Amino acid sequence: MKPALRNVTPAVVQIATIVEAHRKARRVVIGHFVFFLICVVIALIARRYLKFPPQLSWVIFAIFGLVFAGDLCRLTYRNFQLQRLRAASASSH
């Protein structure tokens, strides 16, 4: 259980919440990127040994883009929110 914060403004709590969400989104995207690299390596090895066509590589890129686009957009949105809140916080001081 987290200790109770005293004398903390709602803006600071909001920034802390956004920072935590941004870190989580970044970890998810990094994990997806590692998974993507593993898939590309496996696809390239399979293409070479099983004589698959070169289009297999593009299919991997397309599937990655479609499946993980939401997480990439979430990271971009969290980054935008964080920059906006930091700018608003800096201008108010």
Residue 67 lies in a domain: yes
CA 67 to chain centre: 13
Number of domains in the chain: 1
pLDDT band at 91 (very low <50, low <70, confident <90, very high): confident
Residue 38 lies in a domain: yes
Residue 6 lies in a domain: no
Contact 67/21 with Cβ under 8 angstroms?
Answer: no
Residue 54 lies in a domain: yes
Which pLDDT belongs to residue 31?
92
Residue among 77, 66, 64 nearest 33 (CA): 64
pLDDT tens column, 51-90: 878 777 788 778 888 888 888 898 899 889 888 888 887 7
Q: What is the pTM of this model?
A: 0.69
Residue 12 lies in a domain: no
Q: Which residue has the higher pLDDT, 30 or 57?
A: 30
pLDDT above 60 for 27? yes
Hey, what amino acid is at 56? L
- Domain around 73: 31-87
Residue 69 lies in a domain: yes
Residue 23 lies in a domain: no
